Amino acid sequence: MTDSVIFDPRDLNFKNPYGAVPSGTVVSFTLRPPRAGGFSRGRLTARFESRNNEEQTVPLPWVDSRLGVDQFRGTLDVGTYVGLIWYSFVLEGLDGRRAELGPYQLTVYQGEEAVPTWFGEGMTYQIFPDRFCRSRIPDPAGLVGGRTVHQDWADEPVYRPDEHGEIRNRDFFGGDFRGVISKLDHLKDLGVETLYFNPIFEAAENHRYGTADYDRIDPMLGCNQDFSRLCDEAHRRGMRVMLDGVFNHTGYVSRYFNGDGFYPDVGACQSWDSPYRSWFQFIHWPDRYESWWGIYSLPAVNESDPGYRRFIFGDEDSVVRRWLRAGADGWRLDVADELPDDFVAGIHAAARAEKPSAVVIGEVWEDGSTKVAYGVRRKHILGGHCDGLMNYPLRSAILSYFSGGRAEDFVQSMETIRENYPPFAFYSAMNSLGTHDTPRILTLLGAGGERRDQSRDWRASFRLEGDALRMAKERLRSAALLLFCFPGSPTVYYGDEAGMEGFEDPFNRRPYPWGREDGELLGWFKQLGALRKDHPALRRGTIRYVAAEGPLLAFARADDGEELLCVCNAGDAPVTLPLPGKTASPLAGTPALSPLEEDAGVQITLPPRSGAVLLMK
């Protein structure tokens, strides 16, 4: 006897309502053991994790017997509780026999606040500002960090250590806001609705994750007014702008820490009386301090410091509020799971107070509902914290599926996320195939992994060719189709749509190849972007899995009378999918359609490593 015979938490016949529930919900549970099991009573035990693991027992009396199956039913009122509930069942027979099931997870979230839906509906485009587009070759003289600038846009980024054995990331290409503005019409044509920028504030390194001045746009990008102009131009084209909030650490070279003395201000490591000294956590002042993952150039901040909290989100003119006022529409929080929950809640409250339509997206690499950081279960998506998270579990599932995995495993992984996440978080996820922190998706799909077995010089010079390139492009087309059809915002890392390649940083951060794009891939992404923009079923519709068998994956998205079917074949041989009683019209891809002989339906045949979207009737 298996649990699935008796209880399936994803089936409304066993648990109602589905998945995560808002506080105040009464949840109904039904156990359905075979009559032959001889069970006479059941009970549910619910453990309220964030209420000191308090337990509540609910009797599940016998209520009915149908077709040889008993039914035991009861309800759990979650009351005002917010957090995770771990529940399990016991069935007992008169002869002393027992069956134990569970534990299962129930996520209970705050349901009072209306979460803006715009982010999850449309396509997002991630821009690494230094490498997207430049309007001129900048002069680095006098800028923080002792920078150099590549004169040739097609240069290879510096990846070898310097004479001191360090990779300092001080080589810039000079991408700027004027360059981005010049490409906004191109991005609109691609279907982009949200521009997500990696950090834009003044910083010594080209990635700008070691913020030097939160009040100032990095001069290579432009000035503060240029940022507002960029936002105005984006808004005029129906796009929104999301910024990267790096609030867990600053730069060693910064106005606040001032490790190299570049700034005239008295930094934390220069004077015990510095107004910024309490922002940092010194083990031995001034030369030993906490830093992000032990990287000395990124000193960690003390997020409990009142002055730092006021500066970031507490004051009327705080960082969070000021840049929303300047034109931004939301924040993505870097290393959100390394920020205290009440700090994230403060950012969220400040963002909503400044701009009610603003959203906050958190960087979390795992299932955000069960994430534990520093020994604490995080509240990321329980309401009032993050409106959505970066969906790295989806990326992992897609990579596995298109690299020889099974569709059944993809469904299991993604249904776990859908079950555990509140609907607002599931539909506001930042879904991507790659980011600035991962190798390029085309490279992974063609090279068969990150190839850490090879030298760094080998990885720097590696390019796909021949059959490997052809197969990688076929897989990328299918993976992108799945991405654009899945709930949450399909997020494209700049250049993936153009066929950019590269393993780890900095090879995944090369300049965008203007004029040298892969036209076939670019055209495909434009088609997917238009599809996402034009069909409500893809923007906000329900999801229902139709098939998952080996290389074949199919799911339907439906909304307001419209139903679209996304079908993918990750294998090396054709696959077929019969759809009795249905008609289908292809919207993307080139499936072969044939009538079913025994039914007024249709059979879909997909070539190897391909995908299609069809309008169903």
What is the pLDDT, as a whole number, of residue 380?
Answer: 97
**Cα 527–Cα 532–Cα 538 angle in degrees, nearest 5:** 140
Mean pLDDT (whole number) for 173-183: 98
Same domain flag for 73 and 60: yes
If you average pLDDT over residues 291-299, what whole number do you get? 96
- Whether residues 308 and 297 share a domain: the answer is no
Q: What CATH number corresponds to the domain at position 164?
A: 3.20.20.80
pLDDT tens, position by position, 385-417: 999 999 999 999 999 999 999 999 999 999 999
Place of tokens 């715009």: 118
Is 14 in the same domain as 65? yes
**18 within some domain:** yes
Position 409 scores a pLDDT of 98
Task: Please report which confidence band the pLDDT of residue 1 belongs to, taking 50, 70 and 90 as the band edges.
Answer: very low
| CATH number of the domain that residue 84 is part of | 2.60.40.10
End-to-end CA distance of the chain: 39
**Nearest residue to 387 via CA among 1, 113, 20, 52:** 113
Confidence at 272, pLDDT banded by 50, 70, 90: very high
Give the whole-number percent of the chain exceeding pLDDT 90: 96
Same domain, 272 and 372: no
| pLDDT-above-70 percentage for the chain | 99
284 and 206 in one domain?
Answer: no
Three-state SS for 248-293 is: CECCCCCCCCCCCCCCCCCCCCCCCCCCCHHHECEEECCCEECEHH
Report the domain count for the chain. Answer: 4
Q: Do both 284 and 405 map to the same domain? A: no
**Half-sphere exposure at residue 519, Cβ-oriented, CA atoms within 13 angstroms:** 1
> pLDDT at residue 481 above 90?
yes
pLDDT at 598: 75
One-character DSSP codes across 425-451: HHHT-EEES--TTS--HHHHHHHTS--
**Short-list 79, 76, 80, 34, CA closest to 59:** 76
Mean pLDDT of 36-65: 96
Residues 212 and 360 in one domain: yes
Instruction: For the chain, give percent helix, strand, coil, nearest 5.
Output: 25, 30, 45
pLDDT digits (tens, 9 = 90+) for 418-430: 999 999 999 999 9
- Give a yes or no: residue 581 inside a domain: yes
Q: Are 330 and 322 in contact (CB under 8 A)?
A: no
What pLDDT does 61 receive?
Answer: 97
Q: What is the pLDDT of residue 600?
A: 81
Q: Average of pLDDT values for 210-221?
A: 98
Is residue 27 located within the same domain as residue 140?
no
Instruction: Determine the Cα–Cα distance for residues 168 and 145; give it in Å rounded to an integer.
Output: 9
Average of pLDDT values for 526-542? Answer: 98
Give the per-residue pLDDT at 4. Answer: 57
**Per-residue model confidence as pLDDT tens digits over 179-210:** 999 999 999 999 999 999 999 999 999 999 99
Nearest to 129 by CA among 194, 197, 188: 197
- Which helix (H) or strand (E) segment holds residue 93: the answer is strand 83-93
User: Which of helix, strand or coil describes residue 306?
Assistant: helix
What pTM does this model have?
Answer: 0.97
Mean pLDDT of the residues in the chain: 97
Say what the pLDDT of residue 96 is. Answer: 87
Confidence of residue 3 (pLDDT cuts 50, 70, 90): low
Cis peptide before 340 (omega within 30 of 0): no
- What does the block give as tokens for 495? 């250049």
Average pLDDT of the residues in 584-603 = 91
pLDDT in tens, 316-367: 999 999 999 999 999 999 999 999 999 999 999 999 999 999 999 999 999 9
Omega before 219 within 30 of 0, i.e. cis:
no
The strand pairing partners of 84, in sequence order, are 107
Structural domain range at position 405: 123-247+302-440+453-494
For range 583-591, the mean pLDDT: 96
**Are 30 and 99 within one domain?**
yes
Residue 354 and residue 313 share a domain: yes
- Is residue 524 a part of any domain in this protein? no
Residue 217, classed as helix, strand or coil, is strand
Model pLDDT, residue 452: 96
Q: How far apart are CA 76 and CA 53, in angstroms?
A: 16
